[in-house]
Structure 1
Amino acid sequence: MTSTSRGKGPLYRLYISRLRRQLTPQSVPHHVAMMIDGNRRWAKQLGFDSAAHGHRAGAAKMREFLEWCDDLGVKVVSLYLLSTDNVRKRDSAELSDLIEIIADLADELSRVRDWRIQHVGRADLLPPELVAVLEAAEHRTAGNRGLHVNLAVGYGGRSEIVDAVRSIIAAHDRDGGSIQELAASLTPEQIGEHLYTGGQPDPDLVIRTSGEQRLSDFLLWQSAHSEFYFVESLGPDLREVDFLRALRDYGRRDRRYGS
């Protein structure tokens, strides 16, 4: 059964309404991070000859997912679309397809509602054509005040932390400070300000599809106190009911920062 044929009946819609009523504004996370996973397996299970079919279906699901978030009052969503490991290790044909799909998605999202698009990741690892699309999406939506959408493309959490520290060192050096002064004054807050997501709240909830339970180098610093929710559905098969269950579960948790 595909994602397009699931969850259309009256009982499903009734259950969706029930789940929505169980949510309160206080229980909805401010920032949701999504790790869309399982696109390749989805395509293989359905007999497609190319993983691109799965990646396209996953991209379409992400547009839908963002609408769910926006409708419920989530303010920031971070989507993990292409890691630095993907860039270096994926088959060249699959990577080429994936880059084209991401470019199409970024352009599409920059024309939806009042969303603001931001690229988080290493532009120097990406093809110039994709960088141009991501920059155009950012520019087109710079004045928007709706849902803030981070597109993690060419992204790696460890690399992000390294880049943040390098930025801090460079700024300190320009100001004429010594390495000893920097070592004595460096704080977690200072590193946070120099991350790709600097100035944004950390994710309250991190969701991953396909049943995998690992971070895969996504928002390592920012997710130190995040809640995690793992969905068995492959990326393209993610349903609104899965998302609402994640929010319901999140709202029931007692968040203990640091304990």
Structure 2
Amino acid sequence: MARVYNIGSQPVIIAHRGGAAEFTENSIEAFQHTVAQGFRFIESDVHATRDGIPVIHHDPVIRGEGGAELLAINTLTWKELERFQDSDGTLPRLEDVLDAFPDVVFNLDAKSDEAVEPLARAIRRTSCEKRVCLASFKQKRIDQMRALVPGVAFSLGTSEVARLVLRSKFPRRKTDLSPRFPHPDRGFQALQIPVDMRIAVPGKLGEYIYTTVKVATPELVRFAHAQGLAVHVWTINSEREAQGLIDIGVDGIITDIPIKMRTHFLDSGVEIDY
């Protein structure tokens, strides 16, 4: 399988929701402007309508007419949802986006169970298996998508991220890494993490205690690389913080300010991909 994301080469800037702080997030306008600036890595989110049309949107609801009522996307048909599109191209259909930007690598987060099959179907219809990485907080959704579109790149769900974090912090403990562990030969290419997260860590008496731990560490980066996984950190909007992460070896920065972040790295003499 060809890699979508590389390890140990030039770090990549990934435009979070198309550059949410620089344009209207998850809109055709945002994608057009970001691509026009030379970017080819975009992160976005997918929900599905009641009639199974996958659409680009982060939240499960939209504002109804007048802005007061909240409407769930999965209760609306595409024809009903289409009425709420803005002039900047919010709420686009996933297939339209994939067709409109054939040179872009899309990191797509399945935000609901209902989105899984429509998302997979859109990937097959647009033949873009080699330029997407599929993600979800829920590992169950990722496993379902792996069955529907084998050969596509995936990132890890939250439960597998926590397992990897524990193994990197407690290497002598028998944290399960096989046979279920998501190795690259099973399609998993990226570990996409926040700077810190709440996980259950082993206590002194063998019990597990929930606590917030820093996960974007040199130890985790080294451990993930040894498993063949690229490491991306989200959502980073501080140039100083991004620089520190690059310094410890992360492979990608997921950011709302891709243009500003690129300017910072280029001015600093850091070779990057975007």
TM-score, normalised by the number of residues in structure 1: 0.39
Structure ranking higher in helix proportion = 1
